């Protein structure tokens, strides 16, 4: 989720393994450019650590 007021993109954590997707960093090895919000990542993208899909990720508060 993109917070327009604070201009901050939220981080998402893979619940099973703990990997945190940081949109400022992206996932260059997975073809995701820095600055890509989680919502804009293709549905077939998987966690670079455990290989599970986006559905296991939760917003980091």
- Per the annotation, where are the binding residues for Fe cation? 14, 17, 47, 50
Q: Residue 21: CA atoms inside 13 Å, Cβ hemisphere, count?
A: 36
User: Which residues line the annotated binding site?
Assistant: 14, 17, 47, 50
């Amino acid at each position: 989720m993109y917070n327009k007021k604070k201009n901050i993109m939220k981080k998402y954590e893979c619940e099973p393994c703990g990997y945190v997707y940081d949109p400022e960093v992206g996932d260059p090895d997975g073809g995701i450019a820095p600055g890509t919000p989680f919502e804009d990542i293709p549905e077939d993208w998987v966690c670079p650590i455990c290989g599970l899909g986006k559905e296991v990720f939760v917003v980091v508060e």
